[in-house]
Amino acid sequence: MLYSAFKQIIEIFEDDLATRESTHKHSLNIFYIAHMAVKNINQNSRKRFYSFKDRFISGRKKQTIRRANITPPEAGDVLYLTSNKLELIDRVVCIDVKKVEINIKNAVVILDGKHVISGSELDTFSKNDGFKNVSDFFSFFCATNDIYRGYLITW
């Protein structure tokens, strides 16, 4: 419902701007806020419904990245791989945990503050995380910010 309300606001202001009936600064600010809200809703919806289930089952997903606000597991811990619906898919053993920074502006991933991943290595890295390509990887992690910080957990 909120999405359709913002969408209507955008359509109204786009029409006004196209006919030059309204160029008032306040109108432009409301248009910008509504536009950004719809953009964030679209991006967050895409992120929320990205499914890794088939990649877990096939073994193509060999790692995961989690926000920095969690307590990371340690090597040797058992990890429970679940679907979006919290269906248990597999149990695996954590091999390694590293701090990760994903920077969309520079198109790089930085591990433990020193190892920079870019270019073809970034393609392999994104596929190991279960994405089809680097573009999907950056869209998922940097939907609302240019930098994402967290932990890289491998099994």
- CA neighbor of 70 nearest in space, from 153, 129, 146: 153
Per cent of the chain over pLDDT 90 is: 39
Q: What is the pLDDT of residue 55?
A: 77
| Residue in this structure with the two tokens 């990245």, named with its chain if needed | 65
146: left (phi over 0), alpha (psi -120 to 50) or beta: alpha
Q: What is the pLDDT of residue 154?
A: 95
When the pLDDT of each residue in the chain is averaged and rounded to a whole number, the result is: 77
Q: Classify residue 100 as exposed, middle or buried by CB count within 10 Å of its CB (0-12, 13-18, 19+).
A: buried
88 strand-pairing partners:
82
Q: How many C-alpha atoms does 128 have within 13 Å on its Cβ side?
A: 14
Average pLDDT over residues 16-20: 54
Is the pLDDT at 142 greater than 80, yes or no?
yes
Average pLDDT over residues 28-43: 46
Tens digit of each residue's pLDDT (9 = 90 or more) over 116-136 = 999 899 999 999 999 989 999
Average pLDDT over residues 109-121: 93
Tens digit of each residue's pLDDT (9 = 90 or more) over 21-34 = 444 444 444 444 44
Least confident of 11-15, 57-61, 63-67, 102-106: 11-15
What does the alpha-carbon distance between residue 119 and residue 105 come to, in Å, rounded to a whole number?
14
CB 81 within 8 A of CB 92: yes
What does the alpha-carbon distance between residue 74 and residue 20 come to, in Å, rounded to a whole number?
60
Least confident of 35-39, 112-116, 143-147: 35-39
- Token representation of residue 146: 């240019």
Q: What is the pTM of this model?
A: 0.64
